[in-house]
Amino acid sequence: MQRRSQERFDRILDATARLLDEVGYTGLTTKEVARRAEVPIGTLYQFFPGIDGLLGALAERNLEHFIDRLTRRMEAERPSDVATLVDLAVEEYVAMHRAVPGFGVVDFGAVGREDAQSVHLLDSVLENNAAVADRLWALLGDLIGGEDRATARVSLHVALECADAVLRLAFRQDAEGDPLLIAECKKLLRGYLSAE
């Protein structure tokens, strides 16, 4: 029973992601998601309270996948400095943006939406990038370092805000991500986080 429920949950999120790529936020409806996922609308509402619930679950799933991918890269490549770590993180983000359905619309938050619901998809208290910074701190804290943990966490949050802006620009300029802007994002983050 749990496996069937998980399959339906995943099918609903997959349908949401594909639909977001096609119609964006404005065309996203629970009725169309349910139709595409081939589940009754009542089943969708058993898992999700509505559109924001769908977006939040999709953002959480994307963050989990990103953390998993970054962890595997770190285990394989054993980065020993901030510069290498930054490169790995940016490369994984870019790869997901290129390949994961819906990621360009909902990465770890609702891209381009700044309403109260959208900035708290991952956490009811923390804004999305602050929640991502906390998750990344758990993984990267030793490499990002700094004697003052609170300051280092704030630095990571600021770095995410910068990366968010530059990478959005990169994908606005080029559907695959402008290589020059991606390189500039890495340079910016390396300099900022290495200076800490």
Q: Which domains does the chain have, with CATH numbers?
A: 1-48 (1.10.10.60), 51-194 (1.10.357.10)
Question: pTM to 2 decimals?
Answer: 0.92
106 DSSP β-pair partners: 110
CA distances from 56 to 63, 107, 120, 122 (A): 11, 10, 8, 6
Mean pLDDT per segment of 10 residues, for the chain of length 196 residues? 89 97 93 96 95 95 97 93 93 97 94 82 90 86 66 86 96 97 97 80
Q: According to the model, what pLDDT value does residue 137 have?
A: 83
